Amino acid sequence: MKQLVVVWSLAIVCVPTFARAQGPPRPAADAAPVDEGIPIDSPLVRARCGSCHKSDDKGRMTRISYRRATPENWERTIKRMVSLNHVNLDPADARSILKYLADNHGLAPEEVRPVAFEAERRLLETPQGRTAPASRCRRWRSGRARGGSSPVASR
């Protein structure tokens, strides 16, 4: 019994001391590198976006260099900058900026494929005010879901 008490006492004293001696975990040598961002090489993007998105000494611009998106998302982003931040862009400049961002900061098709279904899912408003996938709404409108003719089909 005394031996058991001695062993447990040593364990209680030694384990915290051993844990402190190891210190915090060190990052692995093969850990993923920190995202460095993609430099912006286009003089047009630097000129038209540089008033809000500042450049650093490596040619990276805030927010733009650290984002990759589909061409559709870049188009939405440019439209949002025009509407919310009152950026004045000629249509030709907007197309050139969109092409540069889609080509140099875009996502490859294999990167988009795993989440493409989520972007393509459409939710529609039903007469009851709930949202439902489009196939369910078509069934409702045809009357097959309720076993009769739908008010939409009878109009």
Q: Write the pLDDT tens digit of every residue in 84-97.
A: 999 999 999 999 99
The answer to whether residue 87 is domain-embedded is yes
Same-domain check for residues 50 and 105 = yes
Give the model's confidence band at 155: pLDDT under 50 very low, under 70 low, under 90 confident, else very high. Answer: very low
pLDDT digits (tens, 9 = 90+) for 38-88: 999 999 999 999 999 999 999 999 999 999 999 999 999 999 999 999 999
C-beta of residue 58 within 8 angstroms of C-beta of residue 39: yes
Number of structural domains the chain divides into: 2
3-class state of residue 125 by DSSP: strand
Distance CA 61, CA 81 (A): 15
Q: What is this structure's pTM?
A: 0.55
The answer to whether residue 25 is domain-embedded is no
Q: Could you give the count of Cα atoms lying within 13 Å of 79 in the half-sphere of its Cβ?
A: 6
Q: Please state the separation of Cα 47 from the chain's center in Å.
A: 26
CATH code of the domain covering residue 53 = 1.10.760.10
C-beta of residue 55 within 8 angstroms of C-beta of residue 61: yes
The answer to whether residue 69 is domain-embedded is yes
Same-domain check for residues 50 and 98 = yes
Instruction: Report the number of secondary-structure helices (H) and strands (E) in the chain.
Output: 7, 2
Is the pLDDT assigned to residue 153 strictly greater than 80? no
Same-domain check for residues 105 and 48 = yes
The answer to whether residue 86 is domain-embedded is yes
Give me the domain span that covers residue 139: 121-155
Burial class (CB in 10 A: 0-12, 13-18, 19+), 48: buried
The answer to whether residue 148 is domain-embedded is yes
Same-domain check for residues 95 and 128 = no
